[in-house]
């Protein structure tokens, strides 16, 4: 549902279009017969597999499928011989039996037949198409302030706004919001300071909220001037190391990529890798650049995006 929103395929007054495109867009070439499989391995959690399926390609359960369809009675269900817009999620950990979860899509959204499995570590996803969430950022800032780590946010934001002296959470009309002191006679709400500083604040706060976890950020350079990108990357690196958080960032910007390489080259350890996705015949291949290969590529002005 969020992916469709990012692509401007939005809900109509809280409702969703109930056609096959809603789920088929998740599958390669819109072919729902091809399962989506994600496999992860770690020393701590072992090997875990997630499979996303369209259950219409499986034998229907005894009694047929159930679909929620009544807007006025969302808890009602009706048997149907036809499969509704539905997805099946299989969770499997080595040494354990697979567990299946069904997600049914009705006019009010997504219904689950059982609570979905929790990930083994915290994770957050940020995109430039996500609207600002001042209350959520304020809550996360309060959590960092409670552990006396709020200065990590302040130092990162001073890269974008050097006049910033301190940050504080203030509740206005029942809504919490981060506000900053930039030397005026009153605090200024962070959303008034521009998209770049708010994006960086959300990223740093998401990292702080994901200790020993993962943060994924799309188009990380959005709203940030290329001249400050090396400093931004240094700040991200320091906060990520402090919380032991893995950051996955996407970009189409050569300046952003080169700035990341410079920032991580100036400090040790060099814990940065560039992964380029390129099409080879009918497949997508991953080309990974370490410190030496990326240095050579930049020096030779080789396109690596």
| Beta-strand runs (E) in the chain | 36-42, 46-53, 65-67, 78-80, 86-93, 99-106, 109-112, 123-126, 166-172, 175-181, 188-189, 214-217, 246-249, 274-280, 283-289
Q: How far apart are CA 217 and CA 247, in angstroms?
A: 8
DSSP class per residue in 81-109: SSPPSEEEEEEEETTS--EEEEEEEETTE
DSSP class per residue in 60-85: PPTT-EEE---SS-TT--EEESSPPS
300 domain residue, yes or no = no
The reported pLDDT for the residue numbered 20 is: 65
The reported pLDDT for the residue numbered 83 is: 47
> Would you call 188 helix, strand, or coil by DSSP?
strand
Number of H helices and number of E strands within the chain?
A: 8, 15
Is residue 76 located within the same domain as residue 171?
Answer: no
The reported pLDDT for the residue numbered 24 is: 83
Is residue 16 located within the same domain as residue 135?
Answer: no
Query: Residue 215 in contact with residue 268, Cβ under 8 Å?
Result: no
Q: How far apart are CA 280 and CA 202, in angstroms?
A: 36
36 domain residue, yes or no = yes
210 domain residue, yes or no = yes
The reported pLDDT for the residue numbered 23 is: 79
Q: Quote the number of domains for the chain.
A: 2
Is residue 95 located within the same domain as residue 133?
Answer: no
Q: What is the pTM of this model?
A: 0.77
Q: How far apart are CA 129 and CA 8, in angstroms?
A: 9
- What is the sign, positive or negative, of the torsion defined by CA atoms of 180, 184, 189, 195? negative
Is residue 148 located within the same domain as residue 66?
Answer: no
CATH code where residue 266 lies: 3.40.50
Domain carrying residue 80: 2-112
Along the 305 residues of the chain, how does pLDDT read in single tens digits? Answer: 667 766 776 655 444 455 666 778 888 888 888 899 999 888 887 898 999 998 877 776 665 555 444 443 333 333 344 445 788 888 888 888 888 888 877 666 677 777 766 777 899 998 887 777 889 999 999 999 999 999 999 999 999 899 999 999 998 888 899 999 999 999 999 989 988 899 999 999 999 999 999 999 999 998 888 899 999 999 999 999 999 999 999 999 999 999 999 999 988 889 999 999 988 888 889 999 999 999 999 999 888 88
Is residue 153 located within the same domain as residue 265?
Answer: yes
Q: How far apart are CA 208 and CA 213, in angstroms?
A: 10
User: Quick one: 177 exposed, middle or buried, by C-beta within 10 A (0-12, 13-18, 19+)?
Assistant: buried
Q: To which residue do tokens 């190391």 refer?
A: 241
The encoded tokens of residue 224 equal 């940030």
Is residue 158 located within the same domain as residue 260?
Answer: yes
């Amino acid at each position: 549902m969020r992916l469709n929103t990012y692509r401007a395929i939005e809900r109509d007054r809280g409702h969703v279009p109930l056609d096959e495109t809603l789920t088929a867009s998740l599958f390669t070439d819109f072919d729902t017969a091809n399962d989506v499989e994600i496999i992860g391995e770690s020393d701590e959690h072992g090997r875990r597999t997630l499979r996303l399926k369209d259950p219409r390609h499986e034998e229907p359960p005894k009694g047929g499928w159930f679909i929620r369809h009544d807007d006025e009675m969302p808890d009602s269900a009706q048997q149907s011989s036809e499969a509704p817009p539905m997805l099946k999620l299989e969770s499997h950990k080595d040494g354990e039996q697979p567990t299946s979860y069904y997600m049914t899509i009705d006019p009010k959204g997504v219904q689950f037949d059982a609570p979905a499995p929790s990930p083994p570590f915290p994770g957050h996803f940020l995109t430039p198409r996500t609207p600002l969430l001042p209350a959520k950022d304020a809550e996360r800032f309060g959590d960092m302030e409670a552990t006396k780590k709020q200065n990590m946010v302040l130092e990162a934001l001073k890269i974008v706004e050097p006049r910033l002296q301190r940050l504080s959470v203030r509740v206005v009309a029942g809504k919490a919001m981060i506000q900053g002191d930039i030397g005026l006679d009153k605090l200024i709400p962070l959303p008034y300071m521009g998209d770049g500083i708010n994006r960086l604040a959300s990223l740093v706060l998401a990292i702080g909220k994901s200790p020993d976890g993962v943060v994924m950020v799309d188009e990380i350079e959005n709203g940030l001037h290329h001249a400050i990108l090396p400093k931004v990357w240094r700040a991200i690196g320091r906060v990520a190391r402090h919380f032991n958080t893995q950051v996955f960032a996407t970009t189409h910007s050569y300046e952003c990529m080169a700035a990341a390489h410079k920032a991580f080259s100036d400090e040790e350890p060099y814990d940065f890798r560039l992964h380029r996705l390129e099409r080879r015949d009918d497949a997508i291949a991953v080309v990974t650049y370490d410190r030496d290969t990326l240095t050579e590529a930049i020096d030779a002005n080789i396109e690596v995006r």
